[in-house]
Structure 1
């Protein structure tokens, strides 16, 4: 069990229905969203081995949250915020090797930005409809063992006019050239989740890496 009340801006913790399971899916919302955006995902995925941690970003805007603003300093504070949360999660008995990090939009950017810089290798990284803010800096600062051993699922909408799919294609190609193992998939969607095909395929990808045994 993880005490989500210890997280500065809170979130939602949904325990696994499988006793003592250490698998965790940590989900990061987009800009102007909240942990509530992911409520119900556990029913869609129906993976009994997973615990779920839906986080709120560090910047509060009335009932909603953001992860960072326009500056590099703001992005750095978001990385520090996540480092505290993941250190707490691992201290609670959930090893990095059983954690999946998933994010949408601004949250997806942090899957890359945080995931490649954090010292510990996660079970998998899932970036949905995102964009890396400063790819050259990230490629320079990435941890070699994360780039070499990490497993990444990156999805985007071919009709996404909020964050261009052309930019994401280019960034994925550069990440692959840097040694990342990326499974890249596009869907005929705008800047949103595709419940018909995308989410079931994400679920399948997770279940392959986190078998229910």
Structure 2
């Protein structure tokens, strides 16, 4: 199972007015996703990046039946819940909590916020979609109340089919999120400058 191992950067949690939870992809690290903050408008944020055990949040594809990725998936979601609770206990309300993830981290992040919808500060998902062999709408509850969410992806992508991105966008919109989705032809499994620019404009705007 995952331990709550959090790497921090930016402003100390007790001094910041906003917080960003950054979730790394499979095979990557908390430190690597934190390095992305240098390109984002988050200089006044507390930055928190949980580290997955063995550098992976769950063992199989996010498109596998959820039971196949248990108990790792539930453990990973619990870590995000604990981090979010810790931020709120430090005095930062949900509407000033932001989320970012890449690849497996983006899938985990989207799954977490859809299961725990609220008016957050915003979310940026770089190549990800909701988890499961199909969409399980009964797992998702709450109201985003206009939370800005950016989802960028490549078509094709070796891990994330664009159809799942479209389905994810529809679910989040139906839950009250203000979703901007952008599909880049043949971008590859990466993050491009346009995605960074859009995340700054739509999600991390001052």
Pairwise TM-score range, normalised by the shorter structure: 0.7 to 0.9
Runs of 4+ displaced beyond 3 Å: 173-180
User: 1:120/1:172 Cα in 2 relative to 1: closer, same or farther (>3 Å)?
Assistant: closer
Q: Work out which of the residue numbers 103, 125, 134 in structure 2 matches 1:105.
A: 103
Task: Give the secondary-structure state (helix, strand or coil) at the position aligned to 2:115.
Answer: coil
State the Cα RMSD in Å: 2.6
**C-alpha contact (below 8 Å) 2:122/2:204 kept by paired residues:** no
C-alpha separation in 2, matches of 1:53 and 1:130: 20
Give the number of aligned pairs: 194
1:193 aligns with 2:183: no
User: 1:186/1:86 Cα in 2 relative to 1: closer, same or farther (>3 Å)?
Assistant: same
1:84 aligns with 2:74: no
Deviations along 1:109-129, whole A, 9 cap, x unmatched? 122211022265321122110
- Alignment-derived partner of residue 4 in structure 1: none
C-alpha separation in 1, matches of 2:7 and 2:165: 29
- Alignment-derived partner of residue 200 in structure 2: 203
Task: Give the secondary-structure state (helix, strand or coil) at the position aligned to 2:19.
Answer: strand
> What TM-score does the superposition give when structure 1 sets the normalisation length?
0.78
Q: Work out which of the residue numbers 177, 182, 187 in structure 1 matches 2:179.
A: 182
Q: Work out which of the residue numbers 39, 44, 65 in structure 2 matches 1:44.
A: 39
C-alpha separation in 2, matches of 1:180 and 1:9: 28
User: 1:45/1:149 Cα in 2 relative to 1: closer, same or farther (>3 Å)?
Assistant: closer
Gaps in structure 2 of 5+ consecutive residues: 60-67
Q: Which has the higher contact order (CA 8 A, sep 6+)?
A: 2
Deviations along 1:115-157, whole A, 9 cap, x unmatched? 02226532112211013223532x21322323x4432211111
Task: Give the secondary-structure state (helix, strand or coil) at the position aligned to 2:191.
Answer: coil
- Alignment-derived partner of residue 131 in structure 2: 133
> What TM-score does the superposition give when structure 2 sets the normalisation length?
0.80
Task: Give the secondary-structure state (helix, strand or coil) at the position aligned to 1:40.
Answer: helix
- Alignment-derived partner of residue 164 in structure 1: 161
**C-alpha contact (below 8 Å) 1:163/1:191 kept by paired residues:** no
User: 1:92/1:180 Cα in 2 relative to 1: closer, same or farther (>3 Å)?
Assistant: closer
C-alpha separation in 2, matches of 1:140 and 1:149: 21
Structure 1 residue 174, shift from structure 2 partner: 4.9
